[in-house]
Amino acid sequence: MELGVSKMRKPPGRIRDVAKETGLSIATISRVMNGSKSVSPKTRKRVLEACERLDYLPNPAARALSTNKSNTIAAIIPTIEHSVFAKFIAGIEQALGTRGYSLVLAISNGEDEEELKAARKLLGMGAEAFILSGAAHSKELLDMFLRRQVPIAFTSVWDPNLKIPTIGYDNSKLAAEAVRYLASLGHQRIAVFHGPLKTSDRTLARRQGAETVNTPLVELEFHETELSVSGGRVAVREVLHGKVRPTAILCFSDVLALGVYFGLREAGLEVPDDMSVMGFDNLDWAKETHPPLTTINLPAAEMGKAVATQIMDHLETGVPLHRENLDAEIVRRSSVKEIK
Amino acid sequence: MELGVSKMRKPPGRIRDVAKETGLSIATISRVMNGSKSVSPKTRKRVLEACERLDYLPNPAARALSTNKSNTIAAIIPTIEHSVFAKFIAGIEQALGTRGYSLVLAISNGEDEEELKAARKLLGMGAEAFILSGAAHSKELLDMFLRRQVPIAFTSVWDPNLKIPTIGYDNSKLAAEAVRYLASLGHQRIAVFHGPLKTSDRTLARRQGAETVNTPLVELEFHETELSVSGGRVAVREVLHGKVRPTAILCFSDVLALGVYFGLREAGLEVPDDMSVMGFDNLDWAKETHPPLTTINLPAAEMGKAVATQIMDHLETGVPLHRENLDAEIVRRSSVKEIK
DNA sequence: ATGTTCATTGAAACCGGTTACATGTCAATT
DNA sequence: AATTGACATGTAACCGGTTTCAATGAACAT
């Protein structure tokens, strides 16, 4: 009768169980589990069979402890209830998954406070790198990452002046392009709808980009509204009650544009005959509206894939993270008409 | 000169650094970090200050290794690019966050294969419990959880016949209710649009629920289509080309209903005068369409919160997971009219 | 003064892996 | 036959915490 061994075997099989089962040392088992090449083929086979039999899976905590790697990447986003972020997350998850990494997700609601709390939590959970949205973050947060030397990347933005790598698109430039596009079609008064400036530096960048277009003939009126279908609809009412009616509405989100569609419909106005409408995002349904929505295609999923890939490469090979400017271009459909 | 100590201190401070700094033992530091009550107030204070000074954060892997807890919950969902899932995830994340847990997310694209792979990955990452969507999962997956005694819960469904706890709503019943509601307003021929049956047992349940309503006067025609705005639009065309035109379209997703709106508009038809339309989900924008969409309110965020809370309670106190049937009711708006 | 109790603290054994280094074996080379 | 080297495997020191148990000492009762 062995002593002390009477305690029930703990449910998950441990490496030493496999060692005992095969009569090998735990070192060899470990080598097999990690695909080390210095294991004879038949030993490897024997081990793998034993693993199968014992339903063995290496303990992740133990592995993380000795290797100092958790294979976990964190993303903190302001909201997930916006298609663009959802696609972005899907892109990240997919890219991470193919290489065995996992995604831990936190939602900050655009609050620095919550973002910091989430970051601490995820750090204390073993996240090896962080994917953040936008470039505006509390100094405290950034300091924390700096002190701990945790790799971070900013996404949804592209800014050559930042030291921290930005992987995304140039919001300012794109907004300016959108305005110029409308101007080129003869629109001289354009209403611009956007979400809250407070919580999103990307929105601010877009607005500032739009303002840079000072073709003398173009007048812009800005409407800050809630970032939702409802917000777009509310803003339309404002516009329709204004003294001078613009000929086009540029929305810095397709979601707003959808609200605009309904708002105009409610007012009995036709797109684009009575009002041209342009969006920003190119969500899945943008081509399905009636009329199909002219918008700017943001490569959300590609962006997720790009940042995830860069981070994994960095973690594995040490190549530094680098700025990446993704293609985003105007998708011309029929919600914008030319003004003679 | 101490020997062996010349190696650079590793960036993250370890518990023994704090012990050295304070002249206490690591046991005491550990006690402070875990809020054990048997530490004198002034010692605690001294330790906390030292932690601050050294920027100390306990190593999560080490902690997980000794306590056998990772504080990580996994969710596997078919897609995140559907608002309902996004809200669901947001609900989970929020609930987990308030109690220090983290969410690891995987996306299965509705494929058993991918789901299994993801589950293995997340298990090998230390996830302590799994949140799954729907009740249809491969035997292999379920067996794996069973063998390892990993707690799991099915969501978006409610089924009293399943042993595994279901936290959600009764899709079949709700669909039947929707049909009865339309019938009560005089609709005798109703087109029902739904997504692929293959990949979603919830869709199947809804369809079967609708079929149970055999009021003699009501005829149902089912249209399986892609689950997207586009899909709704395509299905509308089918309906309009049919021999007998229904008076109402019931969509098992608001997204489809949106496509229907555009499809009808394209055909020059008015909602609800020429066609009544009803959705399923009550997405944020449903009240903002023109006309506002009659639909069924699914408590996605609440569901996320409910399942997360149950799981945390279970992990901490051992109370068993239990079935939970959440309220979901018809939201009457003006996209459905009464037929005389 | 002496014994008892309680509150603090420390020593050391884990937790389950990884990996540097040592060891042993066998075939190829001289 | 002796030497060498490549390969396969084992030994044991770590990784950084948690927790049991014992030790210490102060407060209190006798």
Looking at the domain assignment, is residue B337 inside a domain?
A: no
- Residues of B within 8 A of A103 (CB-CB) are 104-106
Does B292 lie in the same domain as B192? Answer: yes
Overall average pLDDT of the A30-45 stretch: 92
**How far is the C-alpha of A111 from the C-alpha of A79, rounded, in Å?**
10
Average pLDDT for chain A? 93
> Could you give the CA distance from residue A195 to residue B207 in angstroms, rounded to a whole number?
39
Distance (Å, whole) CA A170 – CA A287 = 23
> Looking at the structure, do residues A214 and A135 belong to the same domain, yes or no?
no
CATH of the domain at A311: 3.40.50.2300
Residue-level pLDDT at A336? 98
How many angstroms separate the CA atoms of B278 and B253, rounded? 9
Residues 6+ apart with CB under 8 A from B123: A57, B74, B144, B148, B150
Using alpha carbons only, give the angle A301, A304, A310 rounded to the nearest 5 degrees. Answer: 140
State yes or no: pLDDT of B4 exceeds 70: no
Looking at the fold, whether A100 and A32 belong to one and the same domain comes out as no
pLDDT, residue A2, reads 32
Clarify whether residues A292 and A308 are in a common domain. no
Q: How far is CA B338 from CA A24, B183, B275, in A?
A: 77, 9, 11
Banded pLDDT at B11 (limits 50, 70, 90): low
pLDDT(B9) > 90: no
Is residue B197 in a domain?
yes
Nucleotide nearest to B66 (CA to C1'): C15
Tokens describing residue A236: 């339309």
Candidate from A100, A106, A265 with C-beta closest to B97: A106
Instruction: Give the three-state DSSP class for B219.
Output: strand
Same domain, A132 and A86: yes
Cβ-based contacts under 8 A for chains A and B: 170
A258 pLDDT tier (thresholds 50, 70, 90): very high
CA A277/CA A255 separation, integer angstroms: 12
What's the confidence (pLDDT) of residue A270? 96
pLDDT (tens digit per residue) in B145-174 = 999 999 999 999 999 999 999 999 999 999
As given in the structure block, the two tokens for residue B283 are 């997405």
Nucleotide nearest to B56 (CA to C1'): D16
Nearest CA in chain A to B84: A81
Of A263-277, B4-18, B66-80, B241-255, the least confident:
B4-18
Whether B232 and B280 share a structural domain: yes
B260: which 2 tokens? 């229907």
- State the DSSP string of A28-69: HHHHHHTT-S-S-HHHHHHHHHHHHHHT----HHHHHHHH--
Cβ-nearest to A105 among B93, B121, B265:
B93
B329-331 and B295-297 as β-strands: parallel, antiparallel, unpaired?
antiparallel
Specify if A60 maps to a domain: yes
In a domain, B145, yes or no: yes
Does residue A115 register a pLDDT over 80?
yes
Bridge partner residues of B221 (DSSP): B191
CA distance B215 to chain A (A): 35
Nucleotide nearest B39 (Cα, C1'):
C8
CA of A14 to C1' of C25 (A): 30
Q: Are residues A133 and A209 in the same domain?
A: no
Choose from A104, A228, A233, A287 for mutation: most chain B CBs within 10 A. Answer: A104
**pLDDT score for A34:** 93
Measured distance CA(B182)–CA(B175) in Å, rounded? 11
Mean pLDDT of B94-116: 96
State the amino acid at position B204 in one-letter form. L
Region at B281 (left for phi over 0; alpha for psi -120 to 50; beta for the rest): left
The closest of A204, A169, A191, A188 to A296, measured between CA atoms, is A169
Judgement on whether residues A108 and A34 belong to the same structural domain of the protein = no
One domain, residues A175 and A224: yes
Q: Is the pLDDT of residue A37 over 90?
A: no
Q: How far apart are CA A269 and CA A257, in angstroms?
A: 14
- A151 and A204 fall within a common domain: no
- A132-154 mean pLDDT: 96
Tokens read off for A125: 């959970």
Q: How far is the CA of A214 from the C1' of C13 (A)?
A: 74
Number of structural domains (chain B) is 3
Q: Which nucleotides of C are covered by protein (CB under 7 A)?
A: 7-12, 14-20
Domain membership flag for residue B225: yes
Q: Is B169:B326 a contact under the CB 8 Å cutoff?
A: yes
Alpha-carbon distance A270 to nearest alpha carbon in chain B (angstroms): 12
Angle, in degrees to the nearest 10, between helices A171-184 and A201-212 = 40
pLDDT of B6 > 70? The answer is no
B137 is in which domain, residue-wise?
70-169+300-327
Q: What is the pLDDT of residue B8?
A: 36
Domain with A45 in it: what CATH number?
1.10.260.40
pLDDT digits (tens, 9 = 90+) for B314-328: 999 999 999 999 999
Please check whether residues B248 and B235 belong to one and the same domain.
yes
Reference B333, options B267, B278, B263, B259; nearest CA is B278
What mean pLDDT comes out for the span B276-303?
96
For range A16-34, the mean pLDDT:
94
Q: Is residue B215 part of a domain?
A: yes
A335 Cβ contact list (under 8 Å, min separation 6):
A257, A271, A272, A276, A277, A278, A279, A289, A291, A292, A293, A294
Please determine, for residue B214, whether its predicted confidence score (pLDDT) is greater than 80: no
Give the residue on A whose Cα is nearest the Cα of B99: A121
A82/A155 same-domain check: yes
Token pair for residue B1? 């000169």
Shortest Cα–Cα distance, A46 to chain B (Å): 22
Structure confidence at residue A217 as a pLDDT band (50, 70, 90) = confident
Region A294-307 average pLDDT: 98
User: Over 80: is that where the pLDDT of B3 sits?
Assistant: no
Cross-strand pairs, A76 = A106, A132
Q: Is residue A44 part of a domain?
A: yes
The answer to whether residue B2 is domain-embedded is no
* Of B314, B283, B273, the residue nearest B86 (C-alpha): B283
Write down the mean pLDDT value for chain B.
93
